[in-house]
Structure 1
Amino acid sequence: MSENKKNNHLDPGLYVVSTPIGNLSDITLRALDVLKQSDYVLCEDTRHSLKLLNFYKIKKKLVSFHKFNETKKCKEIFDDIEGGKIISLISDAGTPLISDPGEFLVKLAREKKIKVLPIPGPSAVTAAISVAGFSSKFFFFGFLSKKTKERTKELESLCKVASSIVLYLPARDLKKSLEDFKIYFENRMIFIAREITKLHETYLSGTAEELLENIGANDHKGEITVVISDKSVDLEKAEDINLEYEINLLINKMSSKDMAEYLAKKLKISKKIIYQNILDLEK
């Protein structure tokens, strides 16, 4: 056992502690206890993390830990743990390492057989998927690349994923991303969770095209988590429509490509599904 249940004493090690993603009340009693017992706390932004610790009247040394100094800090951190210290790792919000610093540190700690323990809690990923109304089988990708070529490759790969997909977006990229989703996810439903648990918490759902028509100026602000529905949403729509009848009305009047584009807009289902039906009928 890593903890003595009677006195709640912690063994030396690295504790990966989940913190609130917005509302400061969303923190576990165990997380608070671990932070209180830590010799120091590794965090992305000391000013940001100080607000959390001050809110709970926890006085601990905060050490800046981010992607630019992660590799340099490891030896010192491991030496401290081997010397009997308890060290916590937190991110600015949610569960550390989920698109946040710490991956290299934890990987190296595991290789060196240093004790690493998770202190579970809030995560924007699970919060968004729990209220999106899509399949609970999901693929988490995180942030798309900023480079156009790499981003295109990522989207081409992601559109083949059958399960729900969870992405993080900088708010300023919302419109651009929805334009991309129109192409790669066509009529799959998109769920936007903005400022989860915060004052201006907002949830929007629809196709990428519908969302582009309805997003307001304030929807481009704050932190955004996007859930893209599983592929079965398209298939369910297709089952409710007599595609064979619709296609037969147009055969010999349009090319297969034009038919697919026309019916995709008319019926609001994927071009790929329609095109496959056209090919099956032509056989």
Structure 2
Amino acid sequence: MKNNNFKLGNLYIIATPIGNYDDISKRALIILNKVDYILAEDTRKTGLLLKYFNIKKKLYSYYEYNEKKKANFFLEKIIKGLNLGLVSDSGTPLINDPGYRIIQLCREKYINIKIIPIPGPCAAILALISSGLPTNKFCYEGFLPHKKNKRIKRLNELKKEYRTLIIYESTHRLLKCLYDIKKIFGKNRYIVLARELTKKWENIYGSNISNLIKWIKLDLNRLKGEIVLIIKGYISYSINDELSPKIIKTFLNLKKELSTKKAINITSDIFSVKKNLLYKFYIKNKY
């Protein structure tokens, strides 16, 4: 790792809108105007964004298949004192988008290069905060494997993940993915589908997996667009031998209509189970 005294350039990681251009930050616009070059996942898409805001900068293509090859090339420009801005097609770079390699090189080889993140939209986070599912602990999975056998294997590994799961999925593979989730996670696992966030056709819908599939089939347009799945984490129904699935089911049904205290009292009376066990279950699973 080199510690250089001569002036190095900066690398800015710039979040851009995921659909609505008005979501871009004032700071992002200032930095896009300030940098010497912009590294873009797709120069055509980024070109449209820059044209909209009348920003004229040299664009370099930097995407998944040339990232490793070009990282050193761009690092040399930063070493020479040039400031570079890194953007993806939309949203926050590196979240399932290119950029990791050049940032890794900067961190490893030149301690004085500043990596400056410019915050902004991220589809995964927008979907999560609007899902109604727990946000205090979550697991970002990105895209599941394309091949069915590998996807099944990964879903089996995630089956008992207790944190809220965030998954990206493509239009043409969504139903296949949902059927696999249904098979492995069970038909009652709650899932929120968020599509086309911030755009005209934005849609956020949550239900158990069986109903979600039915809802999509009622209008296949619901398959289209950029899609994020937010999946409720796994809940263990075997806290101990005294709290059976039947007891828990009764408690949850009562909880829908009554206060937590009343639901616990009634369930306790019906099954002669200790109230503190029900309360611990409630706290653990945040119902």
TM-score range, shorter chain: 0.7 to 0.9
**CA–CA distance in structure 2, aligned partners of residues 234 and 217 of structure 1:** 35
Q: 1:204 and 1:234, CA in 2 relative to 1: closer, same or farther beyond 3 A?
A: farther
Equivalent residue, structure 1, for 2:74? 77
**CA–CA distance in structure 1, aligned partners of residues 183 and 208 of structure 2:** 11
Equivalent residue, structure 1, for 2:171? 171
Q: CA deviation at 1:239?
A: 2.4
Q: Cα RMSD (Å) of the superposition?
A: 2.1
**CA–CA distance in structure 2, aligned partners of residues 184 and 36 of structure 1:** 49
Q: CA deviation at 1:35?
A: 0.6
SS of 2:130's equivalent? helix
Q: CA deviation at 1:178?
A: 1.2
Residue by residue over 1:216-260, the C-alpha shift from the partner in whole angstroms, topping out at 9 and shown as x without a partner, is 2101111100000122497999624179xxxxxxxxxxxxxxxxx
**CA–CA distance in structure 2, aligned partners of residues 148 and 35 of structure 1:** 41
Q: 1:162 and 1:105, CA in 2 relative to 1: closer, same or farther beyond 3 A?
A: same
Kindly report which structure 2 residues correspond to 1:212-227, keeping only aligned pairs within 5 A, or say none.
212-215=213-216, 216-227=219-230
Q: Given the alignment, which residue of 65, 88, 92 partners 2:89?
A: 92
Contact 1:12 1:84 in 2 (8 A): yes
Give the TM-score of the pair, scaled to structure 1.
Answer: 0.78
Percent of aligned pairs sharing the same letter: 41
Structure 1 runs, 4 residues or longer, greater than 3 Å off: 232-238
SS of 1:241's equivalent? helix
Q: 1:112 and 1:213, CA in 2 relative to 1: closer, same or farther beyond 3 A?
A: same
**CA–CA distance in structure 2, aligned partners of residues 78 and 237 of structure 1:** 61
Equivalent residue, structure 1, for 2:273? none
Contact 2:18 2:198 in 1 (8 A): yes
Equivalent residue, structure 2, for 1:257? none
Kindly report which structure 2 residues correspond to 1:153-172, keeping only aligned pairs within 5 A, or say none.
153-172=153-172
**CA–CA distance in structure 2, aligned partners of residues 19 and 64 of structure 1:** 16
**CA–CA distance in structure 1, aligned partners of residues 21 and 194 of structure 2:** 18
Equivalent residue, structure 1, for 2:248? 239
Runs of at least 5 residues in structure 1 that lack an aligned partner in the other structure: 1-10, 244-283
Contact 2:39 2:86 in 1 (8 A): yes
Contact 2:75 2:102 in 1 (8 A): no
Q: CA deviation at 1:184?
A: 2.0
Runs of at least 5 residues in structure 2 that lack an aligned partner in the other structure: 1-7, 239-244, 253-287
Contact 1:188 1:233 in 2 (8 A): no
How many residue pairs get aligned? The number is 234
Contact 2:193 2:206 in 1 (8 A): yes
Q: CA deviation at 1:117?
A: 1.5
**CA–CA distance in structure 2, aligned partners of residues 181 and 121 of structure 1:** 31
Equivalent residue, structure 2, for 1:103? 100
Q: CA deviation at 1:115?
A: 2.2
Equivalent residue, structure 2, for 1:280? none
